[in-house]
Structure 1
Amino acid sequence: MEFNCKKDIIQITPLWEGERMQDGRPRVSDEILEKIRHYSLEEVWEIGWQLGYDNQFQTGFRSSNPQMNTPTVGRAVTSTFVPIRLDLEIAMKRQAKVQGMQGNTNLYNIFVVDSLVEDDVWIIDLFDKVKYGTIIGGNLGTVLQERTKRGGAVVWGSIRDLEQMKTLTDINVYYRGVDPTPLRDHVLTGFNTPCRIGGAVCLPGDVVYACDAGVLFIPPHLAEEVVNHAEKTKVRDLFGFQRIKEGVYNGADIDTFPWSEEMMDDLVKWIAVEEAGAPYRHLDWSIEYEDARTGKTRYNRHWSNSQMRRLDEV
């Protein structure tokens, strides 16, 4: 096996048709990443869930920089570890050294961190190990900040040197626990391979969205659609809140989809004349008008036969 194999990365991300990083990861544009930073978890989560990506979110983290006002958004670099087993450790360290990993202590994590670039987020499955699972501390955290600039890490495991980590104000590290022990008794089995963080699945190049509520992994081929959907969700909420306060609609009207053609007309006119609607005047609502005419939401057409059968049984 080979760590960080470009051919394998391309093979496991077949739906991405755009530019790729040097290592083969999908390269979602900087513009899309910046837009995603301005939306809430619920706004960027929904479209993936509607399209059948139901294992993309995991909660239960603490963060090294809880004062940060924006979510951590970037491109995933994954590492998967398992508990130590002597023969496997021999094989993996031999392969690591063949690929140029130097040193002995912290051999694996230093090699991965040294590969990171701006806007990368290191995703680490350390099998929820806290004692002796402290993969990031003050020194490695400083390197992480220098290389990713505003990226960071998600650790299904632990960190150490928390007080030092708190001084790294440009990044955020999401982790499960803190312990003073050094990192030990682990074996790297995957570098930029499929990675499981709790109940969520992350692939190299996924767009990572991490906030106080938890961590979301957005498939790169959906990133642009996520932004489009988030923009529509945002402006519909702004419109809906105002109309509810005005007594034009009630909560049930706003939460029932698809909206009627009359409500869609009202929304489009509101966007055209209200200052709050100005950033959203570029949006195309033709699909929503089609849904209004048919009485079916667009997402139902993406659901699997089994999902549709479940709907029929309700």
Structure 2
Amino acid sequence: MKFDDAEDIRQITPLWQGERFPNGRPKVPTDILRRMQKITLEEAWGPLWQRGYRYQFEGDLKIIHPDKVIVGRAVTAVMVPKRPDLHETLLQYGHEQEGRKGFFNQWVIDSLEEDDVVVVDMFDKVYEGTFVGGNLSTAIATRTKRGGAVIWGGIRDTQQVVEIENINVFYRGSDPTAIGDVTLVGMNGPTRIGRAVCLPGDVVLGTPAGVIFVPAHLAELTVVNAEKSQVQDIFGFVRLKEGVYTTAQIDASWSLALWQDFLQWFQNEDSAASYRHLTWDDELNEARQRDERGPNSDVRV
């Protein structure tokens, strides 16, 4: 077996059609990551749930910075309990065949790029299951600039880690013991965090409510849907306060006339300025078709 194999990564992420890192990991554009910072967990969850991605969220985690949102590209790892023959074989292979240094957790952290988030299944091990401490968390901060880690297991040196401002760490528990009796059996392959599944290159959205893993090929769609919902809500609140429309009109599928009112507002209001990269051709075409069919009571999603 190989660690961090480009052919394997491409095989399990075939729906991603954009740029990739040299190891094959999907490289969701930085612009999408920055825009993802501004959406809520529920806004990210909705499009995934509707498309059958039912196991992308996990909320049963502790958080180093509970009020801080992080967004980054997933670098995944899977650990299992130590079995001596497997352990020694893989450790030797990594050192001699792939030129890796140190212990398994260091291999993962040494691979990080800017805006990455480490996602590690430590099989919920906390005692001697501390994937990072103060030193390795500092290394994560240095390499990722603003990323962090999601660990289905433990951390140590919590008082030191909490002082690192530019990352966030989601974890199951803390313990003073060092990492031990674990073996890395997968790097940048499918990884399970509680009830959620993460693939390499997924966009990790870590919030005070928990973590959601957005598949790379759905990241832009997720952001665009959330942004459209946000700016439509801003418009709706304005028009409701003005008494122009009823809640029934705002909550239903919009008529062509309402869409035209929205687009005029959208092009001129300061509160819509940050959303003007969005286009609305599909929505206008649907409204025209509905108007041609006559009034209906579809609820806008």
TM-score by length of 2: 0.89
Report the equivalent of 1:209.
205
CA gap 1:96/1:282 in 2 versus in 1, 3 angstroms = closer
Instruction: Deviation per CA, 1:118-142: give whole Å up to 9, x if none.
Output: 1111001111112221111111111
Selected match of 1:88 from 70, 86, 89: 86
Contact in 1 for aligned 2:129/2:179 (Cα 8 Å) = yes
In structure 2, C-alpha distance between the alignment counterparts of 1:108 and 1:124, rounded to whole Å: 12
Contact in 2 for aligned 1:57/1:216 (Cα 8 Å) = yes
Partner SS state of residue 189, structure 2: coil
Report the equivalent of 1:65.
65
Contact in 1 for aligned 2:71/2:206 (Cα 8 Å) = yes
In structure 2, C-alpha distance between the alignment counterparts of 1:282 and 1:267, rounded to whole Å: 15
Report the equivalent of 1:36.
36
Selected match of 2:263 from 265, 268, 282: 268
**Unaligned regions of 5+ residues in structure 1, if any?**
296-314
How is 1:110-149 mapped onto 2 (pairs within 5 angstroms)? 110-149=106-145
Q: Does 1:173 align with 2:169?
A: yes
Contact in 1 for aligned 2:67/2:208 (Cα 8 Å) = no
How is 1:159-308 mapped onto 2 (pairs within 5 angstroms)? 159-256=155-252, 258-293=253-288
In structure 2, C-alpha distance between the alignment counterparts of 1:3 and 1:18, rounded to whole Å: 23
- Return the letter of the residue paired with 1:30: T
Contact in 2 for aligned 1:74/1:151 (Cα 8 Å) = yes
Partner SS state of residue 262, structure 2: helix
TM-score by length of 1: 0.86
Selected match of 1:151 from 147, 153, 169: 147
Partner SS state of residue 99, structure 2: coil
In structure 1, C-alpha distance between the alignment counterparts of 2:279 and 2:101, rounded to whole Å: 53
Larger displacement relative to structure 2 (4-13 or 271-280): 271-280
In structure 2, C-alpha distance between the alignment counterparts of 1:83 and 1:203, rounded to whole Å: 21
Report the equivalent of 1:99.
98
CA gap 1:162/1:7 in 2 versus in 1, 3 angstroms = same
Contact in 1 for aligned 2:67/2:207 (Cα 8 Å) = no
Instruction: Deviation per CA, 1:21-73: give whole Å up to 9, x if none.
Output: 121101111122112112222233322222222221111222212353xx211
Larger displacement relative to structure 2 (41-50 or 224-233): 41-50
Following superposition, the deviation at residue 289 of structure 1 comes to: 2.7
Following superposition, the deviation at residue 207 of structure 1 comes to: 1.1
Report the equivalent of 2:299.
none
Following superposition, the deviation at residue 293 of structure 1 comes to: 4.7
- Return the letter of the residue paired with 1:25: R
In structure 2, C-alpha distance between the alignment counterparts of 1:254 and 1:178, rounded to whole Å: 48
Following superposition, the deviation at residue 251 of structure 1 comes to: 4.5
In structure 2, C-alpha distance between the alignment counterparts of 1:83 and 1:293, rounded to whole Å: 60
Partner SS state of residue 25, structure 1: coil
Following superposition, the deviation at residue 234 of structure 1 comes to: 1.1
Following superposition, the deviation at residue 79 of structure 1 comes to: 0.4
CA gap 1:84/1:249 in 2 versus in 1, 3 angstroms = farther
Identity of aligned pairs, percent? 50
- Return the letter of the residue paired with 2:261: D
Partner SS state of residue 60, structure 2: coil
Contact in 1 for aligned 2:19/2:28 (Cα 8 Å) = yes
Cα RMSD between the aligned structures?
Answer: 1.9
In structure 2, C-alpha distance between the alignment counterparts of 1:146 and 1:94, rounded to whole Å: 28
Report the equivalent of 1:52.
52
In structure 2, C-alpha distance between the alignment counterparts of 1:165 and 1:250, rounded to whole Å: 50
**Unaligned regions of 5+ residues in structure 2, if any?**
291-301
CA gap 1:175/1:30 in 2 versus in 1, 3 angstroms = same
Larger displacement relative to structure 2 (46-55 or 31-40): 46-55
- Return the letter of the residue paired with 2:160: Q
Report the equivalent of 1:305.
none
